[in-house]
Amino acid sequence: MRAVHAAATLHDDPTPLARMVGRGARMTVKPLLRLAPVHERTFRRLQRFSAVVNRGGSPDIAAEVGEIGGVPGEVLTPGDGPTTGLHLLYLHGGGFFTGSVHSYRSMLEAMVRATGGTIYAIDYRQLPDHPVADSVQDAINAYAGVLERAGNPAKVVVAGDSAGGYLTMKVAELARRRGLPAPAALLAFSPLLSLEPDRQDKNVVRVDKVREAVLPIARVAALRRLWLADDAIIEGFADPLHATAYITSPTHLVAVEDEFLRPEVEAFALLLDDKGVEVDVHLWRGQVHAFPIMAGYLPDADLAIELAVEFALRHIGEPPAVEVDDAGAQPDLLEGELAD
């Protein structure tokens, strides 16, 4: 595996279970997504499923249902009370048309255990009733709510995967635009950093072939027409890739070797690094898009969460007592630069 960003950490040794998950996704999930019609009925079926599926509910986690900054969601804490001062807003993925607090419960509970802190998760507005512009407003409003609850902005972190990674970076951008305190750190797993990730004419570098196990890139154009409704204007830049001048928070980025979102993740890292922002890049071989959401089920996902949590705790001034053992990782020494 090769990298574009200097000093990226490469994870070259997927577990047998991760290999099996990847093969299964290529054989089942990707073909289904390639064939599924992109219309309202499909979205509503997926939303009904994600609203009722609940892969968590562990007795050692306390859950408070309510509103966060006026947005419906849940606040999760260790059952015996927080052991760290971390307040983490998590923004789920799902292409802006599926995903929920319920469907992410297992991962969220894993993050509570790993951090010992308070995790906030919201059910932001989604397609087909609401475009991306509304999802962005819910994300920044929830962030303002977390700041108010936390009391100390130096303890607030924002995280997300895929579409939630897009919202994570929009929160960082809009916090600066609105004069809110910047997050203490940002964590993004396979983030969507442009609403045009399928375009090939942007100045991003591809060093590996795309063999994405889950997302069919051919469906992006159909989704984009819904993401960018004619009468809904996204506040700030439509693409976080263009907003790096507004982002100052230390950033932890995770991408999979052959997913089609990876080149923009590395380009984003280079842009932040060029502006003096601390960037931690992890590239994983043999995984599927946004694989950390399988924390609690997949050892590779557990490790990815532990590394992200370690980064977050260090940047709120509360490093974990035991350093994460990541024996299989290796630093990459290639110097990166954007293509002309």
> Which residues form the catalytic set?
162
Distance, CA of 229 to CA of 131 (rounded, Å): 6
The whole-angstrom distance between residue 222's C-alpha and the CA centroid of its chain comes to 22
Alpha-helical regions (H) of 197-250: 220-227
How many other β-carbons are positioned within 10 Å of the β-carbon of residue 328?
Answer: 13
Q: What distances in angstroms separate CA 81 from CA 62, 63, 101, 116, one per listed residue?
A: 8, 11, 21, 8
Q: What distances in angstroms separate CA 244 from CA 75, 175, 193, one per listed residue?
A: 29, 13, 11
Pairing relationship of beta strands 61-68 and 71-78 according to DSSP bridges: antiparallel
Distance, CA of 222 to CA of 214 (rounded, Å): 17
Contacts (Cβ under 8 Å, ≥6 apart) of 84? 115, 116, 117, 313, 316, 318
Q: Which two tokens stand for residue 151?
A: 């009391």
The whole-angstrom distance between residue 176's C-alpha and the CA centroid of its chain comes to 20
